[in-house]
Amino acid sequence: MTTRQWGYERADCSGDYALNLFLDDMEHLVDHYAAPSGEQLETRLFQAQAAANKLLQAYEKNARNTAAFTGQFIEIKSVVDAQDVLQFVPIFSSGLKQQLIKLLKRSNTATQH
């Protein structure tokens, strides 16, 4: 089995594309820690928060041509959905959220005819 490459490790981690890579990595991270394991929920939540902090720091350090990650933070929350499945949800700081909203708006207008 090969080790998964993180987006911040990629040569094309730059500008808006870095935000796309970040979202993919964040999804992978929360799915991993929310998955059932032998660890207690509080332990998994703590581990997920620590991993999210490290991920954001790695993007701040390695992403080029963007300041989207500078001075931002993420808070990981646990929720149980309607199907009674535990999920970990990232809550983004307002600055990071604004960058993601801008990216979404640009991608929506680029696909409209």
**Residue 68 in tokens:** 């989207």
Q: Identify the band that residue 108 occupies on the pLDDT scale cut at 50, 70 and 90.
A: confident
Q: Identify the band that residue 68 occupies on the pLDDT scale cut at 50, 70 and 90.
A: very high
Quick one: pLDDT at residue 106?
81
Quick one: pLDDT at residue 2?
54
Distance CA 18, CA 11 (A): 10
Distance CA 83, CA 4 (A): 29
Contacts of 56 (CB under 8 A, 6+ apart): 69, 72, 73, 74
Whole-model pTM over 0.85? yes
Above pLDDT 90, what percent of the chain? 74
Amino acid at 1: M
Average pLDDT, rounded, for the chain: 90
Phi (first) and psi of residue 96, to 5 degrees: -70, -40
4-43 confidence digits (pLDDT tens): 899 999 999 999 999 999 999 999 999 999 988 888 999 9
Q: How many CB atoms lie within 10 A of CB 72?
A: 18
Quick one: pLDDT at residue 103?
86
64 near 15, Cβ under 8 Å?
Answer: yes
Spans of all domains in the chain: 13-106
41-51 confidence digits (pLDDT tens): 999 999 999 99
Q: What is 9-37 written as a DSSP string?
A: GSTT-BHHHHHHHHHHHHHHHHHHHHS--
